[in-house]
Chains A and B, each alone.
Chain A
Amino acid sequence: MNISPTEAEEALAAIQATMKKTRRAISASGAYGFLIVWGVVWLLGFLCSHFLPDEIAGYIWMGLDILGGVLSAIIGIRMGRQVRSPLAAASGKRIGWFWLLLIIYSAAAIGVAWPVDGKQVAMFIILFVMVGWLAMDLLLSFDSILPGLVIAALALIGYFLLLDIFYLWMAILGGGGMIAMGIYIRYRW
């Protein structure tokens, strides 16, 4: 059996398309889920911080963070079931420990800097989360370094230049931006 150059070209195109789709499906399968979950958490949390008293907003934030953490764990477990490897299982545990320690360091930094107001607490947490995001990108090649840097920059701009509407700024641009990016990765990437 011989095949023509046209058939060979079609076969190579099919191979390229499948490889590209596989790479994107694997790398995007978790990214969009995490982005949408945490985008919704930020959107709702910061809107509450803007419109509600600090104490009530604080309780809502706690609930939203727990919900976000649980949903992230579920997404991580589902990702691990789709494509699995002994190395990925080990690095999954390390990623979990990394985020846990980052949360503890974040709480410690806030404690050291105390007394701080709500906006300063938010900014501390945002900066620590962004450090975690960049670490994940740099070490695991999640290919979203730029959006992470943009969100960190937006947060700093909001904090230093637009303090009166900082929460609203973070809800719309931070939370909304993450949701939009998640939807883009899911349907267009």
Chain B
Amino acid sequence: MAELNETIHQPVRLRVMAALVTLKPDEEVDFTYLRGLLEVTDGNLGAHLRKLEEAGYIAVNKTFVERKPRTYVSATVEGRKVFSEHVAALESILKNNPAKVS
């Protein structure tokens, strides 16, 4: 049975992962665009992205576009896998009893 993931379950991180897994596997999204999409502050999003990056669920790519620094974010293969497991666990809770958080 799939288990809940405590790192992903936090509301902002859950939405970050939901947005990132919606992208195609080779796509990455601009930090500013993601911030606008999720309607969160710079600091808040940055802190949650660090947590997800430390867990290996997202990749953060800092680069320069026309000499301006830009940060791009994408879900890793591992991130996509644990997110789908987390969704499966949530769905199973609706059908059965509360599940244990890993």
Contact = CB atoms under 8 A, between A and B. Distances in A.
Interface of A: 1-5, 8-9, 11-12, 14-15, 18-19, 21-23, 25-26, 81-88
28 contacts: A3-B4, A3-B93, A3-B98, A4-B98, A5-B94, A8-B90, A8-B91, A11-B9, A12-B90, A14-B18, A15-B18, A18-B19, A18-B22, A18-B38, A19-B18, A19-B19, A21-B19, A21-B37, A22-B37, A25-B37, A26-B23, A81-B65, A82-B29, A82-B30, A82-B33, A83-B30, A84-B28, A88-B27
Interface of B: 4, 6, 9, 11, 14-15, 18-19, 21-24, 26-30, 33, 37-38, 65, 70, 72, 87, 90-91, 93-94, 98-101
A15 B94 CA distance: 15
A25 B32 CA distance: 14
A22 B26 contact: no
Majority SS at the chain A contact face: helix
